[in-house]
Structure 1
């Protein structure tokens, strides 16, 4: 009996086994993400996530947690620790209930359509047996809705060959037997069957595997007849006759009847102004309860769920039709679930949060014990306060959100009747046109001088544009292709970064550079500022000694006149000449025809260079500058009347508007404005080709600006420039309505662009972190304290850098109108901020913690500015407009900062191990102190990572109805939790050299975070959270391989001096 009890304890209440199961669990789900990348989500679910052995592993881990928790309670474990660990038990049980008793599906409705059926998300083998039929009947005579009376479903996996089954069931007093025979990957088989194409490539095989098109063969026996039936998992029906009945088999979703019906009254999509990017989409439905007879209406949109009779309906997607008029939205796709485990799972999440916070304050917890060891208790309360404050949107961000949410009431301005303009105004307008034409004729001879000296002189004049005028140009507003309104200063930064990949060119700053493209297109075409990294392309272009090429270098020299003619007057004839003269034309066409997954590095660089060429085609830049609002724009500002008219026309107070061409506005509710009209009125327009302009107003804008610039460049007379800029400013303010950025927003965006705080902070963090590291290391080796004045001076400088970094994030929050962690670039800025916070504010009294956090913050900012992350501020997809998302990302990304600090402290200890010497006992003491701080940082990081990951589940469940979908990002977050949980619990195994092992593992464990962030975003490129793949993945892979090599070298060198006797205080 004792042996059985010991065996049960070793199997179901063993700490070593629990740690092993956690590691095995993390390895399995990590492996599943690679299976998903290579074979698709369906295969990953069937082979791993939904397999019997994985469910067994979950149950085994659950029982072990309960068993270990029971033993710990007997030994007097603290309540906070018990609650935290018990929360995982509740979460796993809730997930199990959802897995086995819940279901998911979707409901597709066209406008005006009613339905009581949903389609399941899982695939089934659907079997139907018909009533008796006549001998001469055919499948065409059978109505499946009326004639098939017996049916059932079998949950079917594409990998049924690994778990083959035989089904026996009595149907109409006769036994029906269905036996699985085999299953094939149809896409893969077809690929090999097509011998005309030769041996398929690895890429073709990989793509075929991911198509998930399978055909299963079944042996069906009924009424003495035995047949083989093949069915595809694409939902097609296979029908065969057995005696006097028909049997149909289909492999796909099954239909489920709802106890109520839903009618789609209207589906609405609202795009961001001036773009095809959805801002929101909503389904207006009517619900009819069949049992009670109640009828009610409801609006379903992202983050607003219809919850009725245990069913939850989420806005998932929509259906469209392409037409000559563009995309037509024809209906809605609602995801549906019935989740009996949701409440229990949420209880588990609540216990997790309570336990995590309690652990930080429990005076007997491991965290506080470590705090006592390094005398840091006072810092923890400050940490919690800062974390709470960081989740509350500052007032500056609230103002931004208020500005972006004023889309509830609309104020429509009527179009001006051009014929109502006064005669005097028209005459003044024409005189100014004549004056501009005369000035243009005067300047043309000066521009014809294309010598190198003349071009240099004109560039020098660009650098001499008066500061006030340059400032005025930088404050012009422009609408991006995603509908985001920004200032010209931001746009010129983007153009400079895109083309030159630098902040300056020959002394020209971004605004001067853009003005050069506008005013001196032929001069700029001759200058080499287009950065090209591919040596093969440089050689093709005949540029062998430079990494930069000019626009003219891209074309055959003899064809440049034809190219310029095409830029000004595009015709079919000039287009043909353009193709002949463009050196890269055939390479571009070849690259475009290839699927993105098949493009090699050369193809990608060719397309990148082609994109730059398109920007630099003379006069082409005007096509990208959407600076002219629709004059019929909707004005959302109810405090003023929209004035749309000539530039010098204003309505004076008390003036009779009946005699003016400014027509008063009317106020209407938002619901009365159709999405198409809303989008049209909020779309800004570019000038287009200046040589094809017909609108006198646009001709005026173009001529006045270009001639004013050329007059200043050639004659050093800038007198016309303020008038030209003010005219555009005035037009924008009069016509942009609510989209017009106020002065505070403009000044904030200018400040954010001008101070360039993040690259500057990067260098300060790195330099100060390295200085502090070497000072602290030398102080330990020579056994002397760091002078207090020196330590305080470095700390004060780091604090100032951190404050500047914080101000930069707040400015970006205000300018963007959303929390600054919505894309890869912003999340790296936030990781750097959290890293700095962890050391500078929370663990500031340890110089090694301080230098580690500073260096890590600098490295995070360095990665952000490597070049593959786009710093551009843009609009958010509807699913990202959630307060739950802000909390989730804020916590989980901040955890990376603490776990990164743990990495740095572990690396510092590895270096100290290398320097250990019997004559330097102070090094051993420092290793123990740093190990304690390391563990504290890891505990904070793991608690935040756990809470943040599961709060992400709340966001997902409230947004699209599935709190855990094994998306690669959330999967690797769980892997990271498992990895760090193993590292934190390994000290309980009482193994030798625990200090060395813990610190070495703290370094190696961070690679799970790197995989969670970079691996998923840039390498796996699967799931909802991925950002990109290709160039960035290759660039990151090389750097990570180098880091892995350096890490392993340091760990191995430290291994030689791993024996540290002084461990009783921490690990006794």
Structure 2
């Protein structure tokens, strides 16, 4: 008995070891990674059928939890008074219990209701085979779940009781859809009372493809698809409301005015369901999911979640436990901090990273516009008839550009302050529109020596001249050959793309658009990009982009371009507008030739008064307009980039002098550089605040904004959290500069846009700010790891300070990783709360959230590697911290630009893998190998 007990104890201790933990975690992370690529290539159902919803994946979860429970028991953390550690590790067990309850006992479906109609039925998300039968005027129904996808087909042979006999349904074959117009088909064999028949079922869309058949004297029907579930109450849709951004088709928000009708409980109560505002009734939760194209119906996500309470309890325990760990006297973080203090390196903590964050007069419009036009005409004799000044010819285009550069600056700046409504409905200065459009066409600033507004106005006033100017960027030699320009040309003219009225790119564009994004080569992408630049140029030449005129009638929030306004307004208003713009174009030409702009400025006065009078309800505060123009002309984030890099490199050089020359670093130089970096971080925070104010939402809603926020998190990590470690500060400053450099690469779009409805949530600020800031800390870990490996290479008796420096960097690296992993974990789980409160599920295995989970798993392995034999070593930790950062790169860049999903900025349209990435990986491997020769330095002993 004792031997058996010892054997069992040995097995338990073997299973409850960190070695088993690492095997399970690596297996788990690898399975999740494979699933994201399966989902991208074969769809979400295939990923769920192959991995996420399988018994072995559920077993893997269970083994991880059992392993964790065993380690907690054998390590007796509560006896060692490690209460914070016990709390947040135990929270994972509670979260698992809640997730299991949701997984096995929860329900998810969709309810579709049209206005003035009611419904009590839900379509399940899971697919079922449903058998309907009619026996002696009685109807019978039976069903069972199926998993049939293009990648995975789980064959079945189900036997169901029917009126004292058995009905058998057997899988025969699966025929996937050939194209979008086709549907999946399933062949089955049905047997009943000794008779059999082969049936082909088309996958249903809302129950439209039921397959009827007869066996003996019994009539049957088969249905394959979602199962219809009846609720004990009705939801009636009184009104569906869709709000769009002013003057655009982009949804700002949508909501459903409904009434819950429960006759059994005598309830008839109105509710309003909209994004982030959920209806809870009868154990079910209803979320605003989508709507019908005619805006007369709503689509509600519905779920029943018995695991919500334990899951939320687990989340709360996790957050409290992780925060507590930073202050627990016997916790790892405090012990690391004490070691640094013993090295005379004080660590200063911060409380947190996140920033705190008209009257329409009918009948007056025509007279006012007419009076404005008359005022201009009365003061400008040249405008009372056709100008005598000869038009500028093709030969004098250089003179035109010269005049624009020398004479139009002040006027163009004033024109840039007029407001325009973009096609997404956002109100912004014309200056912003000009910057966006000119950048789109030319891919640079200062093209032809003109600022963006000068070029924009020149193109609009002199379209025929500028159509001949080479200003549309292109790259591929094949496209240059197709268009018929020299291979040395970097730009083409608008007119180069047309011959005899035929668009040269027409056929190539159609062919490129027909291809799947992943199948497009560089030529296809260049064709699409050049076509986009052509369209942008056309919008400027025709002034279609210049939506600067509000409606004179006060109806609606749409603003109009001049030609649209003239075509849409009443005859008298249109006539006055035509005169006004004719007057402006003439006076602009006059001003450019004679350098007299008074009359052109009078036209701008008229346009400003029109905007103030008829569009006051959409005009933002003047401060917001001025700040946006300031951001356009003084790109603070781009200008901070070289300053961060220079300060980081200089501070690093100062520290190297101390290490390799056995001299104290220049204290004055170090302090000056520290305060310089601190000033840069302060300017960075100010710039983020300005962008927040200008955009009207937190500046981390797209790829560009999240990147500049990561740069801020990197900078503040060095300045605040590692104040006395000049090496950490130099790496943090360098990382901030690199992050800003990446933010301003060509594939990042710095344009401020409107938020989609789901992002209008306080959860956005909480979840995204925390999880994005974690990338800054983990990026700092990467930099510190690289630096540590470099120092390992140069270890020798000649440089005795190197070992002490390596141990210091190792300690800072581990502390930064604990902070980064805690933020990544908390941010990821808070994202689950956001998802559950917004659309009714914590976790949808979206590639972005899945790779964030994989990153958590990776960094858990890195932080716990010290429990493995030979794992408690600064060299091992530095190597792993460098390798681990590739999971963050995949989470941030790889998912956003190579995988499709809810969080994907490119929606599955992959970019070519940069060549430098291969060199980057090679450099990493070489660095780790070279450092290994002298990687025998033991970890510091913590008190």
Does structure 1 retain, via aligned residues, the 8 Å contact 2:369–2:606? Answer: no
What's the offset of the Cα at 1:7?
4.4
Tell me if 1:184 matches 2:212.
no
Q: Is the 8 A contact 2:648 2:733 kept in 1?
A: yes
Residue 681 (structure 1) aligned to one of 524, 546, 556: 556
Q: SS in structure 2 opposite 1:416?
A: coil
The corresponding residue for 2:192 is 222
In the other structure, the counterpart of 2:403 is 461
State the Cα deviation string for residues 30-54 of structure 1 (Å, max 9, x = none): 1100010111100101111000000
Matched with 2:490 is 547
- Partner-residue secondary structure (3-state), 1:268: strand
TM-score w.r.t. length of structure 1: 0.83
| Aligned CA distance change for structure 1 residues 378 and 423 (closer, same or farther; 3 Å) | closer
Q: Would the aligned equivalents of 2:832 and 2:841 in 1 still touch at CA under 8 Å? A: yes
Report what 1:647 is aligned to. none
> Shift in Å at residue 747 of structure 1?
1.6
Moved more, 985-994 or 505-514: 985-994
Once residues 765 and 726 of structure 1 are traced to their aligned partners in structure 2, the CA distance between those partners, rounded to angstroms, is 43
Aligned-pair CA distance for 1:425: 4.8
Equivalences for residues 332-731 of structure 1 within 5 A? 332-375=298-341, 383-387=349-353, 390=354, 392-393=356-357, 413=360, 415-416=362-363, 421=367, 425=371, 428=374, 432=378, 435-438=381-384, 440-443=386-389, 445=390, 447-451=391-395, 454-465=396-407, 468-539=410-481, 540-556=483-499, 577-579=500-502, 582-594=503-515, 596=517, 598-617=519-538, 620-633=541-554, 681-688=556-563, 695-731=574-610
CA pair 92-1042 structure 1, distance change in 2 beyond 3 A? same
Ranges in structure 1 where 5+ consecutive residues have no aligned partner: 133-145, 191-207, 321-327, 394-410, 557-576, 634-679
How many residues in Structure 1 have an aligned counterpart in Structure 2?
931
Question: Are 1:231 and 2:201 matched, yes or no?
Answer: yes
Tell me the SS of whatever aligns to 2:857.
Answer: helix
Work out whether residues 838 and 853 of structure 1, in 8 Å CA contact, stay in contact via their aligned partners in 2: yes
Kindly state the Cα deviation for residue 376 of structure 1 after the two structures are TM-superposed: 9.2
Q: Is residue 246 of structure 2 the alignment partner of residue 273 of structure 1?
A: yes
Indicate if the aligned counterparts of 1:614 and 1:620 stay in contact, CA closer than 8 A: no
Tell me which moved more, 230-239 or 249-258: 230-239
Q: Do structure 1's residue 9 and structure 2's residue 12 form an aligned pair?
A: yes
Q: Could you tell me whether the CA contact under 8 Å between 2:157 and 2:171 is conserved in 1?
A: no
TM-score, L = length of structure 2: 0.94
Q: 1:747 to 1:696 in 2, by over 3 A?
A: same
Structure 1 residues 733 and 618, CA gap change in structure 2 (3 angstroms):
closer
CA shift in 2, pair 1:503/1:894, >3 Å: same
CA distance in 2, matches of 1:753, 1:334: 41
The answer for the alignment partner of 1:40 in structure 2 is 43
Gaps of 5+ in 2: none
2:312 and 2:156 mapped to 1: Cα distance? 37
Structure 1 distance, partners of 2:702, 2:152, is 42
CA RMSD of aligned residues (A): 2.8
- For 1:536 and 1:520, the matched residues in 2 are separated by 31
Report the alpha carbon displacement of residue 1064 of structure 1 after superposing the two structures with TM.
4.6
**Which deviates more from structure 2 when the two are superposed, residues 884-893 or residues 62-71?**
62-71
Does structure 1 retain, via aligned residues, the 8 Å contact 2:370–2:576?
Answer: no
* 8 Å Cα contact 1:538/1:547 also seen in 2: no
Q: What's the offset of the Cα at 1:448?
A: 3.6
Distance in 2 (CA, whole Å) between partners of 1:346 and 1:877 is: 27
Give distance in 1, aligned partners of 2:703 and 2:611: 32
**C-alpha deviation, 1:852, in angstroms:** 1.2
1:128 alignment partner, SS class = strand
Deviation per CA, 1:60-83, whole angstroms, max 9, x where unpaired?
111111111122225625100011
In the other structure, the counterpart of 1:83 is 87
Compare 950-959 and 685-694 and name the one that shifted more.
685-694
Which whole-Å CA distance do the structure 2 matches of 1:912 and 1:378 have between them? 21
Going from structure 1 to structure 2, the CA distance change for 1:378 and 1:1049 (only over 3 Å counts) comes to closer
Please report how far the alpha carbon of residue 791 of structure 1 lies from its aligned counterpart in structure 2 after TM superposition: 0.5
Q: 1:793 to 1:247 in 2, by over 3 A?
A: same
Classify 1:772/1:106 alpha carbon distance in 2 versus 1 (closer, same or farther; 3 Å): same
Other structure's SS at 1:720 match? helix
8 Å Cα contact 1:868-1:1032 kept in structure 2: no
Aligned equivalent of 1:1057: 934
The answer as to whether partners of 2:456 and 2:540 remain within 8 angstroms in 1 is: no
For the residue of structure 2 that corresponds to 1:253, the secondary structure is: strand
For each residue in 1:879-903, what CA deviation from the matched residue of structure 2 results, as whole angstroms up to 9, or x when unmatched?
0100011100000000000000000
Q: Per the alignment, do residues 268 and 162 of structure 1 end up closer, same or farther by CA in structure 2, a change over 3 Å counting?
A: closer
* 1:151 aligned onto 2:142: yes
Of residues 892, 896, 905 in structure 2, which corresponds to 1:1027? Answer: 905
Structure 2: how far apart are the matches of 1:835 and 1:96? Answer: 37
Within the candidate set 741, 754, 759, 2:620 is matched to 741
2:171–2:187: 8 Å Cα contact kept in structure 1?
yes
Q: Using a 3 Å threshold, how does the CA distance of structure 1 residues 786 and 492 change in structure 2: closer, same or farther?
A: same
| Structure 2 residue aligned with 1:122 | 126
Q: Post-superposition shift, 1:745?
A: 1.1
- Residue pairs, 1:1038-1057, within 5 angstroms: 1038-1057=915-934
What's the counterpart of residue 172 of structure 1? 163
Asked if 1:998 is matched to 2:940, the reply is no
* Corresponding residue for residue 218 of structure 2: 245
Whole-Å separation in 1 of the counterparts to 2:513 and 2:13: 61
